[in-house]
Amino acid sequence: MTMNPKKLYPRTGDRETIYLAAAITDPAISVGDFTIYNDFVHDPRDFETNNVLYHYAVNRDRLQIGKFCSIACGAKFLFNSANHSLSSLSTYPFPIFYEEWGLEKRDVTKAWDNKGDITIGNDVWIGYEAIILAGVTIGDGAVIGARSVVTKDVAPYTIVAGAPARPVRKRFSEETIRKLLKIRWWDWPQERISRCLEAIQTGQIDRLTASPQ
């Protein structure tokens, strides 16, 4: 059995949780298989409108989300146009109002600082109403606490929380993290993952490393 790439709802009768990839239309947003988004306030199918903010084509910035991520209700991804330039003597976004000030339309992006893309690894859990800012990379297996504001990169398998988010602890030992990053179980065929679900759910890393292909 393999995943239907067009399947939207993972559970019968549940219209609050979706396979996010099936709802994405913007080519600047990519989402891996089995990543879910839950929204009990708005229609989760409106993720691009309600959760990916200040994401304008003029910046050419991207949102990349890996496989098997869990994104809670209200999580937001704030892109570069939310910034105001700090290299200017004024934070007022003059270039946006180019007609008013006789500026060139092509220079509109000078109104803000461009910090880059947002990249979310695999098997990442993003908590309720967390905010991820432009330029941030979140490593595989990380956990983002509810209502955290993530302003800096998060290392793999690290739990962060707060505003701004700071490391709380590692989820596993360094040896276990090294093994998980090496085997990358999320890239396995669905059938192999199914065979190893017990080992995954009970934390038996040695069984995963010994799993036949």
CA 110/CA 97 separation, integer angstroms: 11
Which of 19, 72, 29, 70 is closest to 49 using CA atoms?
29
Which residues, 6 or more positions from 212, have their beta carbon under 8 angstroms from its beta carbon?
none
CA 139/CA 136 separation, integer angstroms: 10
Sign of torsion over alpha carbons 127, 178, 169, 205: positive
Position 204: which residue type?
Q
Catalytic residues: 84
| Upper half-sphere CA count for residue 208 (Cβ side, 13 Å) | 24
Sole residue written with tokens 């270039």: 95
Q: Read off the DSSP letter of residue 107.
A: G
Under a CB-based contact definition with an 8 Å cutoff, are residues 130 and 146 in contact? yes
Sole residue written with tokens 């990053």: 181
